[in-house]
Amino acid sequence: MNIGFIGLGVMGGPMAGHLAAAGHRVRGFDLTPGAAAARGLETAESAADAARDADVVFTMLPHGGAVRGVVEESLAGAMAPGALLVDCSSAEPWLTTGTAALLEARGVGMVDAPVSGAGWGAEAGELVFMCGGAEADMARIAPLLDAMGRKTFHVGPLGAGHAMKTINNVITAMAVVSTTEAMLIGKAWGLIPSVMADVLNVSTGQSFWTTERLHQDVLNRKFEDGFKLELMLKDVRIANRLGRDQGLDLPMLALGERLWEQADRDLGPARAVTEMVRWCETQIGG
């Protein structure tokens, strides 16, 4: 297939690389010059250039506003009728249908297909896709998703993938805070952090955070996670807004949003998500 790939950062770069390795023609575009060449892809001059003649265009951008902007300014005018946009960004579900409507007028379809698996999952082709859209479109892109991931879920109509992704991530975001606070209790009491991590990883306190982050990036004080803290804050905000829109009162998630917002303000842009632990320690004095 002819594929356009827009957004070649921590996630998009390796994802596009897998599509090229599977034999597809991939034309990549990112605001950062050299991003496509760094992954051995053809470099497009613009998003519109990447989309021209593409059967499928992927977006892997920071948020739904960026996706909408690219669609409005570039893709809606450049994609051919019958082509398909697959948005893998973790985006605001309430924006998804509006973005799709901009394309629909041109006979272009859309699927939302955000991912879980972090940078290492993207590099290894081990992502999990959670998708919203039409059955026929899902069948069409299945081989492409298989080239980048280990599992695809079709969770509902357009926007359902984006909603599912925010639910996944807000659970992780809350686990970051609760795990940090609980381990600070243990540390103050005299328990050794690495021993606590070993126990948690084979006990009911286990989570993605304890198995994939504690030893690898937190306890060794590396704080080099490829996932940016501001992106996690965005996910937490999306979940809270989705909840409010459904009339739900969510006290813990509301508090979590305030904590992540304060950390983002204090730490500044482009900080690794694991820095949240250091911020919590400073607040608590542990």
Residues acting as catalytic residues: 165
For residue 149, give the H/E element and its range: strand 149-156
| Chain residue whose CB lies nearest ligand NAD | 9
Cβ within 8 Å of residue 268, ≥6 positions away = none
Task: Examine residue 259 and tell whether it contacts ligand NAD (CB under 6 A).
Answer: no
Q: In angstroms, what is the minimal distance from the CB of 239 to ligand NAD?
A: 13
Concatenated DSSP letters for 3-63?
EEEE--STTHHHHHHHHHHTT-EEEEE-SSTTHHHHTTPEEPSSHHHHHTT-SEEEE--SS
Per-residue x/- mask for ligand NAD, residues 105 to 144, rule CB under 6 A?
A: ----------x--xx-------------------------
Cβ within 8 Å of residue 183, ≥6 positions away = 193, 196, 197
Task: Examine residue 30 and tell whether it contacts ligand NAD (CB under 6 A).
Answer: yes
In angstroms, the CA 37 to CA 19 distance is: 14
Per-residue x/- mask for ligand NAD, residues 225 to 244, rule CB under 6 A?
A: -xx---x-------------
Q: In angstroms, what is the minimal distance from the CB of 22 to ligand NAD?
A: 20
End-to-end CA distance of the chain: 54
Q: In angstroms, what is the minimal distance from the CB of 47 to ligand NAD?
A: 6
Q: In angstroms, what is the minimal distance from the CB of 91 to ligand NAD?
A: 7
Give the binding site for ligand NAD (CB under 6 A).
6-12, 29-32, 35, 47, 60-63, 66, 70, 89-90, 115, 118-119, 226-227, 231
